[in-house]
Amino acid sequence: MDKFLITGGRRLEGTVAVSGAKNAALPAMAAALLTDQTVMLHNVPRVRDISTMGRLLAHIQAEVEIPAAGDGAVRIRTEKISHAEAPYDLVRTMRASVLVLGPLVARSGYARVSLPGGCAIGARPVDLHIKALEQMGAQIGTEHGYIEARAPAGGLRGAHIVFEKITVTGTENVLMAAALASGKTVLENCAREPEVGDLAELLVKMGARIEGVGTATIRVEGAGHLGGAEHTVIPDRIETGTLVAAAAITGGNVRITRAEPAHIAAVIAKLSETGAAIDTFEPGTLCVQGSGQPAPADVTTQEYPGFPTDMQAQYMALATQADGTSVITETIFENRFLHASEMARMGADIAIEGRRAVVRGPSRLTGTAVMASDLRASAGLVLAALVAKGETVVDRVYHIDRGYERIEEKLSRLGAQIRRIS
């Protein structure tokens, strides 16, 4: 198992490019199941979750090409679906495998998808995905740990669906199914995340008729048939935010390119409040100058366009260095503070009270062995290690490899002392 060895204390300086968004590329790959023609994607990050999705599509008998190098191109063609199944082994390594459920039932009339189960950050049920597909006429049962879904004769039909709770992959799953179903679908209380918008853009290129993307109400006129398309995935807003936080925590001076600053407005606002100077004059670029002494600021995670839960661990690392108390409230997942106890082992003063973490800074962090528990928690630990005195060993780096493309190379080019050991 790989580890990162990080020696803290270096200010980050230089230019770094953001990769494509993992959480936009995953639904885009699943959308390729909706057509028998070729879907060509660009700017797909070379991260582990993308290879897992590639393996899943290949299991379904799609032709998948993911070249190791290049511009992040991925070519998928699903001439026919002869094996509409997402097996447990793949779903347990990546919950986003559930994204094939909607496309499979819509295209082939049948899907068998392993139930994802909980993960380190919470219970994470998929009841809302199932309920919505049932409203579109699917018969769905769960047995032996699998969701088994069958479309009615004539295929899925449009429906009026109101999500009880905002769900990102739930909105995506149903949007894909509705694009191919017959008749009109109205989706209410939808996720407004940019990744949903990017998926809708791809679906429209494939021939779907979709209105209201980026708002809480999306209207879809089922197309019955979708064709091939070529699409460039949006920049990863969480990687962008992580790099902004890395510059801020080290008091560095970093230019971040190939980004979409508009997608992280809430992160920019919060990090500016802590004293970082963030300039977005140049299109697709952020210039970040850390303040040297961050100020404390409270934050509450929210659905987009609020402050993302996927930036909460990274923000906590920064808060340990702030001159005063920051209260961090996590509203999306019930158990997303596992990184706090690891940061405390490095010397941080963090008290967890239910969904709130009270972080008292500034703490002098010292390097030690820490364990990553999930993707974003690992990113938070890497940021803490960048300012810790001495050497930090971050174990279970496979979590970070799921969603960050060559993070250690990007950070070391900015001057961080970080290396991977096997």
Q: Which residues bind ligand EPU (CB under 6 A)?
A: 23, 26, 96, 122-129, 165, 167-170, 195, 309-310, 332-333, 375-376, 403
Min separation Cβ 382 and ligand EPU, Å: 14
Specify the DSSP element, H or E, that contains 41.
Answer: strand 38-42
Radius of gyration of the chain (CA): 21
Min separation Cβ 390 and ligand EPU, Å: 28
61 to 302, 378, 399: CA distances (angstroms):
38, 34, 27
Give the whole-angstrom CA distance, residue 237 versus residue 20: 9
Instruction: Indicate the residue among 125 and 228 with the shorter CB distance to ligand EPU.
Output: 125
Min separation Cβ 53 and ligand EPU, Å: 10
Sign of CA dihedral 67, 75, 93, 316: positive
Min separation Cβ 191 and ligand EPU, Å: 6
Collapsed DSSP state (helix, strand, coil) of residue 32: helix
Min separation Cβ 245 and ligand EPU, Å: 15
Min separation Cβ 388 and ligand EPU, Å: 23
Instruction: Indicate the residue among 196 and 322 with the shorter CB distance to ligand EPU.
Output: 196
Give the whole-angstrom CA distance, residue 187 versus residue 178: 9
Give the whole-angstrom CA distance, residue 1 versus residue 45: 22
The answer to whether residue 119 is catalytic is yes
- Output the six-digit token pair for 401: 């490899």
Task: Give the start-end residues of each E strand in 242-367.
Answer: 253-257, 277-279, 286-289, 299-300, 325-329, 349-353, 356-360
Instruction: Indicate the residue among 28 and 128 with the shorter CB distance to ligand EPU.
Output: 128
DSSP of 135-184: HTT-EEEEETTEEEEEPPTT--B--EEE-SS--HHHHHHHHHHHHHSBSE
Catalytic residue among 73, 119, 204, 358: 119
**Cβ atoms of 312 and 283 closer than 8 Å:** no
**Cβ atoms of 30 and 100 closer than 8 Å:** yes
Any idea which residues carry the catalytic annotation?
119
